[in-house]
Amino acid sequence: MTSRLQRTSDHLWLSLACLFAVFPVLFMLVTSFKTRAMLYEPTRILFEPTLSNYKAAIVQYGLLNYLKDSLIVCIINVLVCVVLGTITGYALNRFEIRHKNLITISILSSRIFPSIALVIPFYLIGIFVHLLDTYTIVIIVFLTFNLPFAVVMMRSFFANISSDTEEAAMMDGCSRLGALFRVVIPQVKSGLFATAIMCFLTAWNEFTYVLFLTSSKVHMISTAVVFFKTEQGILWGEVSALGIVAVLPVILLCFLTQRYLVRGMV
């Protein structure tokens, strides 16, 4: 009886925590289907939904272009981070390198500074090399904080894998890279997925760098919200529609890969 009450209590607290976490998203979803007049009645639940906010956000403000550019930048950034982070993390774990810990700390040093402290240097570099407002500058800047994370994460995953299996593979004629991709990586697949997802989320939600380094050619969805502040005030309906469109790919990604994400993070 006591264990049943304990389980019921645990489920109740878990349900309340989930409700607390999901409430802002639900409120934003409801707001995105309201007309501008209904926005002054935030507690009203029963109403005739409208898609005008989504239509305005997509047609008038070109939200699909923001979504496309964000996906291009984030996917390329994740691919580069996963490849370079895996190779570097493997080398730092398996090879005898002098001052290995110092190298690791140096790699992590770029994550010590807040993003606002590095905006001006990156902005000046972008002007000097004529890469400002391009995919290239955004991807490179994202690498400065995503790649160190990927290196450290993958190094820790490789540390949990015994080297006996890859040594056996190399004795059978497999090269070092062959053993890495055929033997080692399948054993850290969950960690690889977790690292990729975390890098994607970090790049997808980045605001400061994107705001200062892009303007008219590259449009990231994280900065689209600033264009909904007009002389008439903040367009909350369109902002809510933007928020739903922005979080939908992330929710789908986490839902489809939750098994690998949880297992990798654990």
Backbone angles phi, psi at 192, to 5 degrees: -65, -45
- The predicted structure's pLDDT at residue 221: 85
Listing DSSP states for 190-239 in one string gives HHHHHHHHHHHHHHHH--HHHHHH-SSS---GGGGGGGGEETTEE-HHHH
- The predicted structure's pLDDT at residue 73: 93
The pTM assigned to this predicted structure is 0.84
Low-confidence ranges of the chain (pLDDT < 50): none
Cα separation, 204 vs 208, whole angstroms: 12
- The predicted structure's pLDDT at residue 15: 85
- The predicted structure's pLDDT at residue 89: 87
CB 31 within 8 A of CB 237: yes
Specify the 3-state DSSP secondary structure of 264: helix
- The predicted structure's pLDDT at residue 11: 80
- The predicted structure's pLDDT at residue 264: 58
Q: Does domain 53-265 have CATH number 3.40.50.2300?
A: no
- The predicted structure's pLDDT at residue 77: 94
CA atoms within 13 A on the CB side of 114: 3
* Amino acid at site 114: P
